[in-house]
Amino acid sequence: KQEVTQIPAALSVPEGENLVLNCSFTDSAIYNLQWFRQDPGKGLTSLLLIQSSQREQTSGRLNASLDKSSGRSTLYIAASQPGDSATYLCAVFYGNNRLAFGKGNQVVVIP
Amino acid sequence: DAGVTQSPTHLIKTRGQHVTLRCSPISGHKSVSWYQQVLGQGPQFIFQYYEKEERGRGNFPDRFSARQFPNYSSELNVNALLLGDSALYLCASSFGDRGDGETQYFGPGTRLLVL
């Protein structure tokens, strides 16, 4: 069974600092991996999909890396802003469109 | 273009009742998946449908069922509601059903409270 872990559960950073969010998964035979953002009480917003054959994917201030051999993905958010405050979820595909999620990193960016 | 839509947004039921949740995918998307998110946890996979066929089922009891209609919209049904069914139910859609997974787009969810 694929298990996804995100540590720490919560973190606070001052505005302008770079954010580094880590995700680990138990089964390295994953397919693709997707990062999401969730605001309180809301649905999930897709941030990035990184394919299993890729090492990195970038979108604006966001950069995601994937190291299948070590079972890790990292999401970098450059120059954090208060609007980046949210919960960030990592999810791995384990067959077709089925996702296994971590519990998320709850981020607060302090102005 | 409209994103994934779900109805209703909120619902309150009592134990033992039945509930039906609805999802309309992004126009042109043929795959719909359902997830349950309990407070403080990540979403848990319930069902996936593609071209009206069930393609996957998560570890949920038979009280949970779903279907997909010819227009690719979907319903999730839960019978004999338990207090533990209280959660945010999320629907996701994608164009196809690639073996390695393709970008999933989620709706705003239906918040179900069982009393």
Residue entry with tokens 């179900």? B112
Nearest-Cα distance to chain A for B8, in Å, is: 14
Predicted local distance difference test score (pLDDT) of residue A95: 82
Contact A25, A101 (CB under 8 A): no
- Report, as ranges of residue numbers, the positions in chain A whose pLDDT lies below 50: none
Residue A69's SS3 state is coil
Chain A interface residues (partner B, CB cutoff 8 A): 4, 31-32, 34, 36, 41-46, 49, 51-52, 89, 91, 93, 95-104
pLDDT above 90 covers a percentage of chain B that reads 92
Band (B1; pLDDT cuts 50, 70, 90)? low
Output the CA torsion B85→B88→B94→B100 (10° steps): -70
Predicted local distance difference test score (pLDDT) of residue B12: 98
Measured between beta carbons, the chain B residues lying within 8 angstroms of A4 are 42
Nearest-Cα distance to chain A for B22, in Å, is: 15
Contact B78, B12 (CB under 8 A): no
Residue entry with tokens 């949210």? A86
Band (B85; pLDDT cuts 50, 70, 90)? very high
Distance, in Å, from the CA atom of B56 to the CA atom of B66, rounded to the nearest integer, reads 11
Distance, in Å, from the CA atom of B68 to the CA atom of A77, rounded to the nearest integer, reads 37
pLDDT above 70 covers a percentage of chain A that reads 100
More confident: A31 or B92: B92
Q: β-pairing, A99-101 with A86-93?
A: antiparallel
Distance, in Å, from the CA atom of A93 to the CA atom of B102, rounded to the nearest integer, reads 9
Give per-residue pLDDT as tens, A74-100.
999 999 999 999 999 999 998 888 999
A34 DSSP β-pair partners: A49, A91
Give per-residue pLDDT as tens, B17-50.
999 999 999 999 999 999 999 999 999 999 999 9
Contact B84, B30 (CB under 8 A): no
